[in-house]
Structure 1
Amino acid sequence: MQQNVAPVTIRNALFGLVSRTNVSRGVTLSSLMNDAIAQAISGRSSISDFDSTVKQ
């Protein structure tokens, strides 16, 4: 399976790079975005609520 998928994957150029912002706020931002995505997918919030989260 890996051999079938590997040739069509795209390497992430950012892999291994870490920014100061990611170090200081990455966990908070990831949590905020993951919660917003889960709420939008489950129907507990609207897409406009998700859009406002992204704008934050």
Structure 2
Amino acid sequence: MPGNVKNAVIDELLYKYTLDDDTNEQLMKLMEDTLEGGYNQRRYEVQQNGGPSK
């Protein structure tokens, strides 16, 4: 996933919530892990099947 898309998603979610710094860091880590996991799953599907699953 391009970095600018990832950062835009993170910024949008953080904008919607007013959280303390510790919670912000935890939320950012969770979002990064989730986005990275989704990217890796799509990449695996493309490599294995020639495209994403339906």
* TM-score bin (small chain): 0.3 to 0.5
- Normalising by structure 2, report the TM-score: 0.39
